[in-house]
């Protein structure tokens, strides 16, 4: 695809403030609410429309009371009203937090409806609909036909730190587990210092299952409890393998055991790897610091990371333990921010030529 940049983007985008109208699809879930909160604070994105058919015409602050101060009068739009907020020639950022299988259909519809606006449009999807490059691979993992296979070739997918944006207009954010694990192992695979088979245990909070109640996310089931699910069969394992191969051109094998933890938000990942030769902990740290030298949201820690240190932030904290040929990488992220909404804004920043960290450098909220 050839990308024609508007004159506005030829300026120093990381310094000057752009005017980019922002549209959120599927805005009434947990990820949608975090997109609303974060976009409202972004200097370049104007929160123009939050689309939700199920909550149409309701006030955002009635559905999400914690957003009362920032969105007092914002209402949820439907697909008949959101176009009223878009003018010809606008720069438009489309964020989709719609469910898997539905997001592609909604994105396709909006792109079609905006096609006569002569607008510059960028899209970031946080669902799974564009995380794989082929319809065959998608069907193998998700068990149903891709709803819009013609759009697949236009999307690039990966964690913001592991993806190169050239002339692409559309990007797909990885799953929250895939984000934490890919950031943990990519430097190792890229440097050829490990055997490319990894054993991973990762625990997630209850918000990782979405807003709609399910048996395993019900509070009496999660409170003071911890359990594995879909061991060696979780769909994020092939996603991790695919994204690592895209970034490093190497095949990896991921043996993944996800777990549910008794907290609401956050992911804690523990990855076990085999070094091809002994390295010291300081050598491993040096390798990661070099690999992520331009990645402001990756923090290398001497001690194991803690969930409470990253909640509500876009940071990924990493630490390492080394014993001979054995290496353990621990990672902590907020599943709703770094694993979804914050990472999606980071990708959108890249699509518009903005600095990665634009609008995202808030501290975590301790003692949650």
327-360 tens-digit pLDDT: 999 999 999 999 999 999 999 999 999 999 999 9
What's the pTM value of the predicted model, to 2 decimals?
Answer: 0.92
Is pLDDT of 207 > 60? yes
SS3 139: helix
CATH class of the domain comprising 177-335? alpha beta
Instruction: Provide mean pLDDT across the span 124-129.
Output: 96
Whether the Cβ atoms of residue 77 and residue 51 lie closer than 8 Å to each other: yes
Does the active-site annotation cover 176? yes
Instruction: Check the CA dihedral 134-139-144-145 and report its sign.
Output: positive
Contact 45, 118 (CB under 8 A): no
Question: Within 13 Å, how many C-alpha atoms sit on residue 359's CB side?
Answer: 29
Reported as a single tens digit per residue, the pLDDT across 131-176 is 999 999 999 999 999 999 999 999 999 999 999 998 899 999 999 9
Q: Quick check: 60 and 67 in contact, CB under 8 A?
A: yes
pLDDT band at 4 (very low <50, low <70, confident <90, very high): very low
**Domain residue ranges of the chain, discontinuous segments joined by +:** 7-174+338-351, 177-335
Q: 7-174+338-351 has which fold?
A: Rossmann fold (3.40.50)
**Helix 176-191 crosses helix 281-291 at what angle (to 10 degrees)?**
110
Residue reference for tokens 């210092």: 193
Confidence of residue 5 (pLDDT cuts 50, 70, 90): very low
In this prediction, residue 68 carries a pLDDT of: 79
Q: Which of 57, 176, 316, 357 is catalytic?
A: 176
- Residues sharing a CB contact under 8 Å with residue 210, sequence separation 6 or more, in sequence order: 29, 30, 99, 217
Q: Quote the CA–CA distance of 331 and 202 in Å, as a whole number.
A: 9
Beta bridge partner(s), residue 194: 275
pLDDT of res. 12: 39
Each residue of 67-103: pLDDT tens digit? 876 666 888 899 889 998 899 999 999 999 999 999 9
Mean pLDDT, rounded, of the chain? 91
């Amino acid at each position: 695809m050839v990308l024609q940049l508007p004159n506005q983007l030829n300026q120093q985008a990381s310094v000057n403030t752009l005017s980019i109208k922002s549209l959120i699809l599927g805005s009434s879930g947990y990820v949608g609410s975090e997109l609303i909160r974060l976009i409202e604070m972004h200097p370049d994105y104007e929160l123009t429309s939050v689309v939700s058919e199920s909550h149409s015409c309701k006030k955002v602050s009635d559905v999400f009371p914690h957003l009362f101060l920032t969105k007092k009068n914002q209402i949820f739009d439907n697909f008949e009203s959101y176009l009223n907020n878009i003018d010809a020639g606008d720069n438009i950022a489309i964020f989709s937090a719609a469910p898997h299988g539905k997001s592609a259909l909604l994105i396709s519809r909006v792109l079609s409806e905006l096609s006569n606006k002569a607008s510059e449009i960028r899209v970031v999807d946080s669902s799974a609909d564009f995380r794989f490059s082929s319809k065959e691979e998608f069907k193998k993992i998700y068990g149903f036909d891709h709803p819009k296979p013609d759009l697949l070739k236009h999307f690039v997918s990966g964690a913001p730190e592991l993806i190169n944006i050239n002339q692409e207009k559309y990007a797909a954010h990885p799953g929250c587990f895939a984000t934490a694990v890919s950031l943990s192992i990519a430097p190792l695979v890229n440097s050829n210092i490990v055997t490319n088979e990894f054993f991973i245990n990762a625990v997630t909070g209850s918000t990782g299952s979405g807003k709609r109640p399910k048996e395993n996310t019900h509070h009496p089931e999660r409170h003071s409890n911890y359990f594995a699910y879909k061991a060696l069969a979780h769909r994020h394992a092939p996603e991790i393998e695919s994204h690592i191969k895209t970034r490093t051109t190497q095949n990896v094998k991921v043996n993944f055991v996800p777990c549910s933890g008794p907290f609401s938000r956050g992911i804690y990942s523990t990855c076990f790897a085999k070094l091809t030769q002994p390295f010291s902990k300081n050598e491993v740290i040096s390798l990661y610091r070099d690999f992520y030298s331009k990645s402001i949201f990756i923090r290398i820690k001497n001690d194991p990371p803690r969930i409470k240190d990253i909640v509500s932030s876009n940071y990924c904290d990493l630490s390492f333990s080394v014993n001979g040929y054995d290496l353990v990488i621990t990672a902590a992220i907020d599943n709703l921010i770094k694993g979804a909404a914050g990472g999606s804004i980071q990708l959108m920043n890249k699509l518009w030529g903005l600095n990665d960290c634009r609008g995202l450098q808030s501290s975590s909220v301790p003692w949650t």
